[in-house]
Structure 1
Amino acid sequence: MTSIRERNRELILRAASEEFADKGFAASKTSDIAAKAGVPKPNVYYYFKSKENLYREVLESIIEPLLEASAPFNQPGKPADVLTAYIRSKIRISRELPSASKVFASEIMHGAPHLSAKQAEQLNAQAQHNIACIQRWIGQGLMAKIDPHHLMFSIWAATQTYADFDWQIATVTGKASLDDADYEAAAQTIIRLVIKGCEIDETQSAASEQVTRA
C-alpha cells in the first residue's frame, strides 16, 4: 500500500515535471507546483528541501528509465532485435514520461548545468557502450558501414521528438492527443528506417550473439 508520504512525493514530482517542462527551471514557482499537485506549498519544501533539489529529482526520475532502455545492448542479441527493443523503449519513455523527457532535453540543450557528474558519467558510459556494440556489428559485417555515433544520435532525435513535439505531432495528425496506434506506428516506422537503412539482415543470428559489455 502506498504511504501518504510516497503519494505526496509522487504528486509533487509529477506536477514539478509538468511545470519545469512548460516554463523551465528559472520561471517555475514552487507555489504553482504545490497548487498543481494539490498540496500545501510547505509540503514541497518538507519533502524536497528546495526547488533545486526537486528539479534534480525530476532529472533522476528520467535518467533511470533512459539507462534501462539500453538494457538490450547489455546482453547477447542480434542487431535487429537489440535495436528494435531499444527504439521501442525510447518511444515508451516519450509516451509515458513526456514532461520529464522534455525537462531532460532542455537540461541537455542548456549544457546540463544541474546534471551531477555521476549522472553524466553513467549516461556517457552507456552511450559509449551502445556505440561500441554497433561498431562491433559493423566489423562483423552484420550491418552497413555507417557512423555509429550518428546512428545513435538519429535514434535519440527520432524517439525524443514524440515527447518534445507531441502537440505539433497531434496537430498535424488532426488529433487531440496521440493514441496507442500512433505510438505503435511511430515505433514501427523508426525501426524500419533503422533496420533497412543500416542494411541489417534480420535473419542473421550466429555472429551477432557476441554482443557483450565492454
Structure 2
Amino acid sequence: MAQAKRASSKKERRQESETLILAAAEKVFAEAGYGGATMQLIADLAGLPKANLHYYFPTKEALYRQVVENIFQIWLEAADAFDEADGPREGLGAYIDAKMEISRRQPAGSKVWAFEVMHRAPIIQDYLETTLMEWTKGRAQLIQGWIEEGLMDPIDPQILLNMIWATTQHYADFSHQIEVLNGSEPLSDAQWAAAKADVKNIILKGLGVK
C-alpha cells in the first residue's frame, strides 16, 4: 500500500512539473519564437531548475514539438463536433464556438503555431505534411458530404476551413490589437459571447446553411 502511494505521489509530481514546464514554454515560445527562446528562460518562468527541463525534455526542439502537438491536439478535440453533428449548423457552429474559446483561454499556443508556420515551419514541417494533412482531408470530406446532401451551398471545403481558422485564431494571434481597439481592455464575457454569435451567424448565413 505504501509503495503504491509513493508511486502515485511520484506520478503526480511528474505531471505537475510537466504542466509547469509546458505552460512556461508555451508563453516563452509565443513571445520569443523558437530561436529566441532558451531552456533557461523557460526554467526561470516555470520556477524550476534548468536540469528539471532536460530531465523531462532532453532538447529545446523536443519541448517545442510537445508544445505544438498540445495545441494541435486541443484543436483536434474541438473538431469532435464535426463527427457528432447531424449537419453543418450543429457541426460548424460547435466547431467555431470551440475554436473561439481556445483562442480566449490559450492564446499563447495559437501564437506559437502561427509563428512557426509564418517561418515556413522549420521544426514541424513533417507534422503539417502528415497529421494536419490527414485531419484536413477528413474534415473536407465531411463538409463535402453536407454539400451533396443539400444542407449548405457548394463551396471549396478547404477555403471554408481556412476562413474559420483565420477568423477564430485572429482573436488569439492579434489579441493585443483587439484589446487596443477595445479601449485597451480585454474583451468581457459578454463581448466574447457576442463575438462568437456574430462569427457563427456570418459564416453560417454565408454558407446558406439550412
Question: Do Structure 1 and Structure 2 share a fold, with TM-score over 0.5?
Answer: yes
User: Residue 46 of structure 2 aligns to which amino acid in structure 1?
Assistant: A
Q: Give the whole-Å Cα distance in 1 for the aligned partners of 2:158 and 2:141.
A: 9
Change over 3 Å in CA distance of 1:95–1:125 after alignment to 2: same
Match among 39, 42, 50 for residue 30 of structure 1: 39
The answer (yes or no) to whether the contact 2:87–2:146 under 8 Å persists in 1 is no
RMSD of Structure 2 on Structure 1 (CA) = 1.8
Q: Give the whole-Å Cα distance in 2 for the aligned partners of 1:173 and 1:57.
A: 33
Q: Give the whole-Å Cα distance in 1 for the aligned partners of 2:138 and 2:74.
A: 17
Does residue 1:106 correspond to 2:115, yes or no?
Answer: yes
Could you tell me the TM-score, scaled by structure 2's length? 0.89
Q: How does 1:186-197 map to 2 (within 5 A)?
A: 186-197=195-206
Deviations 1:93-118 (A, max 9, x none): 11122111111122222222222736
Shift of 1:145: 2.2
The answer (yes or no) to whether the contact 1:143–1:198 under 8 Å persists in 2 is yes
User: Residue 167 of structure 2 aligns to which amino acid in structure 1?
Assistant: A
User: Residue 68 of structure 1 aligns to which amino acid in structure 2?
Assistant: E
Q: Give the whole-Å Cα distance in 1 for the aligned partners of 2:187 and 2:85.
A: 34
Q: Is 93-102 or 149-158 further displaced after alignment?
A: 93-102
What is the number of residues matched between the two proteins?
A: 201
Match among 54, 66, 76 for residue 67 of structure 1: 76
Counterpart in the other structure of 2:148: 139
Deviations 1:103-136 (A, max 9, x none): 1122222222222736642222121121122222
The unaligned stretches of length 5 or more in structure 1 are: 202-214
Change over 3 Å in CA distance of 1:182–1:175 after alignment to 2: farther
**Percent of aligned pairs sharing the same letter:** 40
Deviations 1:33-58 (A, max 9, x none): 11111111211112211111111111
Deviations 1:7-48 (A, max 9, x none): 111111111101100010011111111111111121111221
Counterpart in the other structure of 2:168: 159
Could you say which structure has the higher helix fraction?
A: 2
The unaligned stretches of length 5 or more in structure 2 are: 1-8
Q: Give the whole-Å Cα distance in 2 for the aligned partners of 1:84 and 1:58.
A: 27
Equivalent position SS for 1:145: coil
Q: Give the whole-Å Cα distance in 2 for the aligned partners of 1:119 and 1:49.
A: 23
